[in-house]
Structure 1
Amino acid sequence: MKHVSPLPAYLVKRYRGWKATSFAENRAWYRHLADEGQHPRAMIISCCDSRVHVTAIFGADQGEFFIHRNIANLVPPYEPDGNQHGTSAAVEYAVTALKVAHILVVGHSNCGGVKGCLDMCSGHAPELEQKSSFVGRWMDILRPGYERVQDIEDLEDRRKALEKEAVLVSLDNLMTFPFVKQAVEEGKLTLHGLWNDIGEGGVSEYIPEDKVFRPV
């Protein structure tokens, strides 16, 4: 495979530093994880955005979270149509195989995917309307959320509201998966919606009784 290149030197240096320090100091724990398999208590669905570091936010170690990342932390509705569904497969594995007790959907401020949806749905990003746009077709999942916030006049407020809609749409879609719905109804699984303010380090959670996000 002539198109594959060696790792950049800075990544090699960082790996060797990790192997000589963090790994060496916790060798027994890593061996335990390797031998005993993973038993995470929670699944986290978050954005691909490099600024969102969920393990750091919650102070988590290896083995604590089953993490799936995609553009704008979206979960599609349950559609077993024979196509490839990375997010749906991750949810299925987390719930049916790993038996996680919690699923956290984590949105965040200044989300590029959400901004793309906002631009697309308001007619300012025709390139995302193309059938060949993977991002555009993925952001179609968020169109119901856009319809709920499209009348907000202030653009910044509308974008922030849509970021939170990305969390709510995903939570609604999770309940369309039969195995998720069953686990929730049996009290074996809880769903949680969070929004991370990157610049302020804040985390807000969705309170369904009041239909608002409140600081944790």
Structure 2
Amino acid sequence: MTSARPLPQYLVSRFHGWKATTYAESSAWYRRLVDEGQRPRAMVISCCDSRVHVSSLFGADSGEFFIHRNIANLVPPHAPDGLQHGTSAAIEFAVTALKVAHLVVMGHTSCGGVAGCHAMCSGHAPQMEEQTSYVGRWMDILRPGYDRVKDLPEDQQIAALEQQAVIVSLENLMSFPFVAEAVERGTLALHGLVQDIANGSLLQLEPSGRFVEI
């Protein structure tokens, strides 16, 4: 006995539409992806938020991006403690096995995870402080970012923290030995982006530490 149930009909209909159009027009390409394996040029770490759609944003085809999504597009620090780390495992596979040339951390505006982190760190979400809160313990990753923005005017803090989610993640990426080695060799480049969902713009993290619109 399983708790699984059939898909709702609207998803079934959309699948059949995709199979009859997108797949039918590119079936040889999909078979090639299976026969030759995937060779993505980049890994993208983005948020689970349903409004974030990396493939559409960059017009990417199947096989182009190795995409990992989690709450608030965070990368935890390197911690080989024997526990299960889905994000760390995805990074390891992308860098050491797939040999991606680019690793992009892409944040976004109006991020619920970041807002939750701000509420928790400012003392307005005690439920997230509980050890049983999966979201709270995940958002602990962003506490160093909160410490950097907490003295800003209150109406600027969350937007700044959304950028810190990208910066902290890039800093944590460099704590992985295989990432640092690939960056040092010049075979891997790290990138930081923030998507403004409302106006469609994309901000890029510059070496100066500022986010500039592309």
Which TM-score applies when normalising by structure 2? Answer: 0.99
CA offsets, 1:39-75, max 9 Å, x none? Answer: 0000000000000001111110000000000000000
Query: Is 1:55 paired with 2:55?
Result: yes
1:175 aligns with 2:174: yes
Structure 2 counterpart of 1:24: 24
Cα distance between partner residues in 2 of 1:59 and 1:2:
38
Q: Which residue of 2 aligns with 1:140?
A: 140
The equivalent residue for 1:161 is 160
| Fraction of identical pairs, as percent | 65
Structure 1 unpaired stretches of 5+: none
Cα offsets for 1:100-134 (capped at 9, x unmatched): 00000000000000000000000000000000000
The question of 1:117 aligning with 2:106 is answered: no
* Paired letter, 2:34: A
Give the drift of 1:211. Answer: 1.6
Misfit runs of 4+, over 4 Å: none
Alpha-carbon distance in 2 for matches of 1:72, 1:2: 31
Instruction: Provide the residue aligned with 1:211 in structure 2.
Output: 209
Measured in 1, the distance between the counterparts of 2:79 and 2:5 equals 37
AA aligned opposite 1:176:
S
Q: Which amino acid aligns with 2:189?
A: T
| Matched length | 214
Residue 142 of structure 1 aligns with an amino acid whose one-letter code is L
Instruction: Report the Cα offset of residue 2 of structure 1.
Output: 3.1
Aligned-partner residue type, residue 190 of structure 1: A
For 2:12, give the aligned amino acid. Answer: V
| 2-structure distance, mates of 1:203, 1:190 | 18
> In 2, Cα distance between the equivalents of 1:181 and 1:211?
19
Q: Deviations over 1:128-181 (max 9, x none)?
A: 0000000000000000000000011132x1100000000000000000000000
Q: In 1, Cα distance between the equivalents of 2:159 and 2:66? A: 27
Partner of 2:93: 93
Q: TM-score, with normalisation over the residues of structure 1?
A: 0.98
SS of the equivalent of 1:43 reads: strand
Task: Look up the SS of the partner of 1:62 in the other structure.
Answer: coil
Write out aligned runs for 1:183-198 (5 A): 183-198=182-197
- Secondary structure at 2:144's aligned position in 1? helix
Secondary structure of 2:6 counterpart: coil
Q: In structure 1, give the amino acid aligned to 2:27.
A: R
Task: For 2:203 and 2:57, locate their aligned partners in 1 and report how far apart those are by CA, in whole Å.
Answer: 12
Q: Distance in 2 between matches of 1:34 and 1:151?
A: 52
Q: Is the partner of 2:181 in helix, strand or coil?
A: helix
What is the alpha-carbon distance in structure 2 between the residues aligned to residue 35 and residue 118 of structure 1? Answer: 46
